[in-house]
Amino acid sequence: MKRLTFLVALVATSLFATSALACEYSKSQETAAVETASAVTLASTTLTVDDVTCGGCLVPIREELTALKGVKEIKSGEDVKEVIVVFTDKALPAEDLIAAIKKAGYTAKLKADKQQT
């Protein structure tokens, strides 16, 4: 009986220690991911897109822009013809953004560069 109690206690202790270590490992991985994500600087560029008349026109534009590496978010500007592209800092030249919009069937030009925080 003592031997059985000892084995049960040993197994329970081993299971608890293993799950506690796994939990600590998981927390350290989450912390590393958050620190890496916070170190990324974002920039945004505002483009004026010709021939846009409604929000539906922006669907193919969004699809082409989000396919580019480094693009984090696409926003509509104050005017329906304005598209704001948020991307990792210096990851995308304006020419690449304009080319993607052209691929969607529209013409665009650079309006302004802004730094996002």
Q: How many domains does the chain have?
A: 2
Low-confidence ranges of the chain (pLDDT < 70): 1-2, 4, 6-39, 91, 112-117
pTM to 2 decimal places: 0.61
| Span 49-60, pLDDT tens digits | 988 888 888 999
Residues 69 and 28 in one domain: no
CATH code: domain of residue 105: 3.30.70.100
- In sign, the C-alpha dihedral spanning 56, 49, 71, 114 is negative
* Contact yes or no for 70/91 (Cβ under 8 A): yes
> Which residue range forms the structural domain that includes residue 4?
1-39
Provide the pLDDT for residue 14.
62
Residues 57 and 110 in one domain: yes
Residues 19 and 49 in one domain: no
Alpha carbon distances (Å) from 67 to 20, 74, 104:
40, 11, 12
